[in-house]
Amino acid sequence: MQIKIAPSILSADFSRMGEAVELCEKSGADLIHCDVMDGSFVGPITFGGQMVKNIRPRTKLPLDVHLMIEHPQTQIKFFAEAGADIITVHYEACSKISQSYLKDTLELIKSYGVKCGAVVNPDVPVENIFPVFGLCDMVLIMSVFPGYGGQKFIPSAIEKIRLAREYAVNTGKPELDIEVDGGINAQTAGQCVAAGANVLVAGSALFSAPDFASAVKGLRGQ
């Protein structure tokens, strides 16, 4: 499978976001990963739909919006209309509302013509999102607890990626995008790809690298 690199703009300079997005595209990235935090589901607050709307004209790359927020259904319209290409929502934010909230949210995202995905935190079994794999264009395995860039990779993500790929293959979706997010660098990237991930999010490893394009290649194992 083609490996896709998704720089997380959480690690960019927020006062120069347009330039950051252009750098990602020029350096060979495949997606722009937008980390949306609400100060409740996770401690910090980052940005909302307006940021997505403002960076939309600065790149042709798909915008991959990772919603780390409570009550995600309330925000889908804004991110869809702002130009998100894919929106992912956390299992943990949905399951505390109702049993059908995750499925309903994924269907709501799709109703806007936007791709959708489910996310699991490091302490949640990936099996919990197996029931919605059929609806998902992508699934996201967190390899750190969300909230901050620059954390250390949690190795138990590897087995979850393996299980996710195995389940996708066994249920007739061998090409499902499996994304991993948190602590990804040239070393951990290789382990994740070997386990079956094909979309690699990286913030600090790319934005702190002396050469962004070389760092993108490094994540691809080139």
Q: 3-class SS at 35?
A: strand
For the question of residue 38 being annotated catalytic, the response is no
If you write DSSP's letter for every residue of 90-108 in order, what string do you get?
EHHHHHTT-TTHHHHHHHH
The 115-120 sheet, strands edge to edge = 4-7, 199-202, 177-181, 138-142, 115-120, 86-90, 63-68, 32-37
Q: Is the CB of residue 35 less than 8 Å from the CB of residue 12?
A: no
Of 121-129, 148-156, 162-170, 209-217, which part binds ligand DX5 (CB under 6 A)? 148-156
Of 14-22, 46-54, 140-148, 168-176, which part binds ligand DX5 (CB under 6 A)? 140-148
Q: Does 179 bind Zn ion (CB under 5 A)?
A: no
Q: Is 22 exposed, middle or buried (0-12, 13-18, 19+ CB in 10 A)?
A: middle
Nearest distance, CB of residue 170 and ligand DX5, angstroms: 28
Which of the following is catalytic: 38, 64, 137, 181?
181
Q: Does 38 bind ligand DX5 (CB under 6 A)?
A: no
Pick one of 133, 151, 173, 217: the residue that binds ligand DX5 (CB under 6 A): 151
Which of the following is catalytic: 30, 35, 38, 177?
35
Q: Rounded CA gap, 69 and 72, in Å?
A: 6
**Residues touching ligand DX5, count (CB under 6 A):** 22
Q: Does 73 bind ligand DX5 (CB under 6 A)?
A: no
For the question of residue 177 being annotated catalytic, the response is no
**φ, ψ for residue 122, nearest 5 deg:** -60, -25
Q: Does 35 bind ligand DX5 (CB under 6 A)?
A: yes
Q: Which residues bind Zn ion (CB under 5 A)?
A: 35, 66, 181
